Chain A
Amino acid sequence: EVQLLESGGDLVQPGGSLRLSCAASGFTFSSFAINWVRQAPGKGLEWVSSISYSGGSTDYADSVKGRFTISRDNSKNTLSLQLNSLRAEDTAVYYCAKGGEEYQLVSLYMDVWGKGTAVTVSS
């Protein structure tokens, strides 16, 4: 079964840092682009960041560019998102989501999602 499991969410003060992880299983992790998508409480979905299957290409939403860093370790089937300079507006559930097509720098859609990990930025 294809699964993604996020971890690392926590309560952090404004200006603080956090590292989120996503553990993948049930598919050839190194063949698929992976994304982070977040959802603020009671709000809709917002794309955050994407990384290509090889890790050689990354992209970020303007709202997090320069503060967040996405990376992957294909030998360990894990994805990470380093969150720095956190703001109250970064409070959300963060989902990792698998791209739907193999060997694409970016996929057209996301076919498997993890259950999410909650990040709260508050003093």
Chain B
Amino acid sequence: EIVLTQSPGTLSLSPGERATLSCRASQSVSSRYLAWYQQKPGQAPRLLMYAASNRATGIPDRFSGSGSGTDFTLTISRLEPEDFAVYYCQQYGSSPIYTFGPGTKVDIK
């Protein structure tokens, strides 16, 4: 089973700042198999990125994803007030099919 680790656990930033979130896999993962989700309190997760670097429909271009192998990054170039949320990475694999990272909370400094 591939384990995903996200860092930092919490990121305290101000609106307008750049956010860099890390997702590390315990084994190499195809970039095709890596996705990112955003979840706000009391809401369902929302797909942000798929195949590591492809923005989902309607996601603003201040969100970008990169990485390969075991290290992946989600970057928010300039934080907007609505971006303060928890972010999860997810990989597709086998047994289990999907694993999620523990999440990074981006909160207001």
List the interface of chain A (C-beta within 8 A of B).
35, 37, 44-47, 50, 59, 61-62, 95, 97, 100, 106-116
**Could you list 16 A-B pairs, sorted by A, with CB under 8 Å?**
A35-B98, A45-B39, A47-B96, A47-B99, A50-B97, A50-B98, A106-B97, A108-B32, A108-B33, A108-B51, A109-B50, A109-B51, A110-B47, A111-B56, A113-B45, A115-B44
Known A-B contacts A108-B32, A109-B35; A100 and B45 likewise in contact (beta carbons under 8 Å): no
- A30 and B69 CA atoms in complex are apart in Å by 34
Contact B96 A111 (CB under 8 A): no
| Count of B interface residues, CB-CB < 8 Å | 25
Interface set, chain B 90-107, CB cutoff 8 A to A = 90, 92, 96-103
List the interface of chain B (C-beta within 8 A of A).
32-33, 35, 37, 39, 43-47, 50-51, 56-57, 88, 90, 92, 96-103
Contact A108 B92 (CB under 8 A): yes
> What's the count of A-B pairs with C-beta under 8 Å?
63
Which residues of A sit under 8 angstroms from B88, Cβ to Cβ?
Answer: 44-45
Known A-B contacts A44-B88, A44-B100, A45-B88; A109 and B44 likewise in contact (beta carbons under 8 Å): no
Q: What is the CB-to-nearest-CB distance from B87 to chain A, in angstroms, rounded to a whole number?
A: 11
Q: What is the CB-to-nearest-CB distance from A122 to chain B, in angstroms, rounded to a whole number?
A: 21
- A95 and B90 CA atoms in complex are apart in Å by 15
Which residues of B sit under 8 angstroms from A59, Cβ to Cβ?
Answer: 97
Closest A residue, CB atoms, query B57: A111
Which residues of B sit under 8 angstroms from A95, Cβ to Cβ?
Answer: 44-45
Closest A residue, CB atoms, query B54: A109
- A114 and B45 CA atoms in complex are apart in Å by 9
Which residues of A sit under 8 angstroms from B45, Cβ to Cβ?
Answer: 37, 45, 95, 97, 110, 113
Which residues of A sit under 8 angstroms from B92, Cβ to Cβ?
Answer: 106-109
Which residues of B sit under 8 angstroms from A107, Cβ to Cβ?
Answer: 92
Contact B96 A61 (CB under 8 A): yes
